[in-house]
Amino acid sequence: MKTLLNDADSAGGPEAALSGETIRIRGGRPLRGRVEVKGAKNLVTKAMVAALLGDTPSTLRDVPDISDVKVVRSLLEVHGVRVESGAEEGTLHFDPSGAVAAHFEEIDAHAGASRIPILFCGPLLHLLGEALIPDLGGCRIGDRPINFHMDALRAFGAIVDKSYEGIRITAPDGLHGANIELPYPSVGATEQVLLTAVRAKGTTELRNAAIEPEIMDLIAVLQKMGAIISYEPNRVLLIEGVDSLRGYDHRAIFDRNEAASWACAALATDGDIFVGGARQQEMLTFLNVFRKAGGWFDVREDGIQFRRGDRLTPVVVETDVHPGFMTDWQQPLIVALTQAQGTSVVHETVYENRLGFTEALVQMGADIVVHPQGIDSPERRVPRRALEQAAVVTGPTPLHGAEVVVPDLRGGYSYVIAALAAQGESVVSNMGIIRRGYEKFFAKLDALGADFDVIG
Ligand code: EPU
């Protein structure tokens, strides 16, 4: 029997909607049906920050109802930006004309909630001459240092001071174009440079930039605002600073991480899921691996249908920056690989601690051995990174229910689909973390026929 979902959840309503933190799942039932994905969390939150750079209001469409968006909305509001929801579901309007410096207490109230506050630096420095950054949050998947961000800001002429309040950044003489080479194509540091360089005096050259589709979409947003950004071969971005930018009207790129998550849910539970809004182009690498692992998909005009083919087969994958296999895709894939006939290897090369979630899968019956220092494998495309780890997954192993606690966004999602694929009952707690990145999560599970109750 299913506990009735909060109506507001099904209707995409307010915060109260997904208040449950703990769910009980009765597994063994394939997920079948249709879900829609909206704008990408990893673009939407950055485009919201970009609205601060405009002289006129901006409109962002397809904004998902997730808690990361709420955190950024609230941070914009404490800086005097008026944020209003539009008539079309998922539309937000931003009016930055009243932007002001925020009090430390107001900013600090968001400490630990998200990693996005760090991207406020450039826009706030241009607007107000200073920025205050609280302790950052986000998933605990490694050290997640911010040295690339701080080095880049210094290259633009900013002064970075660490105080008891957090990090205080000032630019008494304004910001000038810079010549920057990132030690690694970091997504966040590339966004930091873009959001700062567009209004700096002179030209910025960024080498070894991240080129994820969400970054290209952010570049599209900034170009709509009046920025001049060219994308050169070999990960080079050239940004010619301009004196002023206007607001934008933009529909966010779809969330390919969410699309890949549901695809893996279909694979793991032997289900059949149509993901409305998913597009092939940005998922080419994922689709190749999905097919090699025994998945079947059909690309249609309005989305992609995913299910199992004849049987699941083991694969060797390594996570990488775009156009490689994203680090956010490995967790749900690993659940499916526990049901493949043979041994798979997943090399995690982006974060140094993103395989810890597998412990709970082992508790559920999976055969997964994590090698904290990584392992060699003949299929390697790139040399090993110092950070990396590897998971060796041997299947098929029947999964059984367990009590598990969501550790981080993608790991948590993988626990839910493992519980859905498992025989028996599981209790999954700390579900609030999943709300950071998956919109209407319970409503979607319900629509796909999952058997679960919200119990706490
Ligand atoms: N790094 C540094 N120093 C820095 C910045 C990064 O050493 O100053 C290292 C990180 O520790 C990591 C690697 O560089 O080992 C890559 O980090 P990156 O900066 O690319 O990641 P991010 O910007 O913090 C975003 C997404 C992540 C996604 C990664 C990789 C957002 C809000 N987060 O993080 O998404 O995994 O890029 O694509 O955009 C998620 O959605 O669950 C998630 C964690």
- DSSP of 257-305: HHHHHHHHHHHHHT-EEEEET--SGGGHHHHHHHHHTTEEEEEETTEEE
pLDDT at 403 over 70: yes
DSSP 8-state code for residue 325: B
CATH level 3 topology of 41-251: UDP-n-acetylglucosamine1-carboxyvinyl-transferase; Chain (3.65.10)
Q: Which atom of ligand 1 is nearest to the CA of 257?
A: 41
Q: Which atom of ligand 1 is nearest to the CA of 437?
A: 41
Q: Which residue has the higher pLDDT, 103 or 159?
A: 159
Residue 433 CA to residue 197 CA, distance in Å, equals 33
Ligand 1 midpoint to CA 208 (Å): 15
pLDDT computed for residue 99 by the predictor:
84
- Would you say the pTM of this structure is higher than 0.85? yes
Ligand 1 midpoint to CA 357 (Å): 18
Nearest CA to ligand 1 atom 16: 186
Nearest CA to ligand 1 atom 23: 188
Give the pocket of ligand 1 (CB within 6 Å). 41-42, 115, 139, 142-149, 184, 186-189, 210, 257, 326-328, 350-351, 387, 409-410, 437
Cα–Cα distances (Å) from 1 to 26, 202, 409, 428, 451, in that order, read 10, 64, 27, 17, 8
Residue 212 CA to residue 224 CA, distance in Å, equals 19
Q: Which atom of ligand 1 is nearest to the CA of 114?
A: 32
Confidence of residue 88 (pLDDT cuts 50, 70, 90): very high
pLDDT computed for residue 101 by the predictor:
78
pLDDT computed for residue 384 by the predictor:
59
Mutating to test ligand 1, I would choose from 37, 69, 72, 187 the residue with most ligand atoms within 8 A of its C-beta, which is 187
Mutating to test ligand 1, I would choose from 44, 68, 144, 433 the residue with most ligand atoms within 8 A of its C-beta, which is 144
Q: Which two tokens stand for residue 50?
A: 């970009």
Confidence of residue 187 (pLDDT cuts 50, 70, 90): very high
Residue 12 CA to residue 371 CA, distance in Å, equals 41
pLDDT computed for residue 380 by the predictor:
57
Ligand 1 midpoint to CA 139 (Å): 10
Do the Cβ atoms of 441 and 434 come closer than 8 Å?
Answer: yes
Residue 25 CA to residue 419 CA, distance in Å, equals 6
Q: Which two tokens stand for residue 374?
A: 């990584």
Q: Which two tokens stand for residue 180?
A: 């920057």
Residue 6 CA to residue 103 CA, distance in Å, equals 36
Residue 143 CA to residue 352 CA, distance in Å, equals 8
59-90 b/e with 16+ CB inside 10 Å = b?
A: bbbbbbbbbbbbbbbebbebbbbebeeeeeeb
Task: List residues forming the annotated binding site for phosphoenolpyruvate.
Answer: 41-42
Mutating to test ligand 1, I would choose from 67, 186, 387 the residue with most ligand atoms within 8 A of its C-beta, which is 186
Ligand 1 midpoint to CA 188 (Å): 6
Nearest CA to ligand 1 atom 29: 187
Do the Cβ atoms of 148 and 184 come closer than 8 Å?
Answer: yes
Do the Cβ atoms of 364 and 401 come closer than 8 Å?
Answer: yes
Task: List residues forming the annotated binding site.
Answer: 41-42, 115, 328, 350
Q: Which residue has the higher pLDDT, 162 or 7?
A: 162
pLDDT in tens, 123-149: 999 999 999 887 766 666 666 789 999
**Nearest of 388, 421, 381 to residue 402 by alpha carbon:** 421
Ligand 1 midpoint to CA 300 (Å): 31
Q: Can 139 be counted among the known catalytic residues?
A: yes
pLDDT computed for residue 4 by the predictor:
36
The amino acid occupying position 386 is A
**Nearest of 428, 423, 417 to residue 400 by alpha carbon:** 423
CATH 3.65.10.10 positions along the chain are: 15-37+254-454, 41-251
pLDDT computed for residue 379 by the predictor:
61
Task: List residues forming the annotated binding site for UDP-N-acetyl-alpha-D-glucosamine.
Answer: 115, 328, 350
Nearest CA to ligand 1 atom 39: 42
Q: Which residue has the higher pLDDT, 142 or 179?
A: 179
Listed range (64-68, 140-144, 266-270, 420-424) with the worst mean pLDDT: 140-144
pLDDT at 400 over 50: yes
DSSP 8-state code for residue 175: -
pLDDT at 115 over 70: yes
- The catalytic residue among 47, 131, 133, 139 is 139
pLDDT at 194 over 60: yes
pLDDT in tens, 15-55: 334 456 999 999 999 999 999 999 999 999 999 999 999 99
Q: Is the dihedral of CA 330, 331, 334, 339 positive or negative?
A: negative
Cα pseudo-dihedral 215, 307, 30, 449, rounded to 10: 60
Residue 44 CA to residue 114 CA, distance in Å, equals 13
* CA–CA–CA angle 153, 157, 163 (5° rounding): 60
Q: Once rounded to an integer, what is the mean pLDDT over residues 315-321?
A: 95
Q: Which residue has the higher pLDDT, 331 or 5?
A: 331
**Nearest of 448, 34, 105 to residue 277 by alpha carbon:** 34
Ligand 1 midpoint to CA 30 (Å): 33
Residue 89 CA to residue 38 CA, distance in Å, equals 10
Cα–Cα distances (Å) from 140 to 115, 144, 311, 356, in that order, read 11, 8, 34, 10
Gyration radius (Cα) of the chain, Å: 22
Which residues partner with 426 through β-bridges?
25
CATH of domain 15-37+254-454: 3.65.10.10
Q: What percent of the chain is predicted at pLDDT more than 90?
A: 81
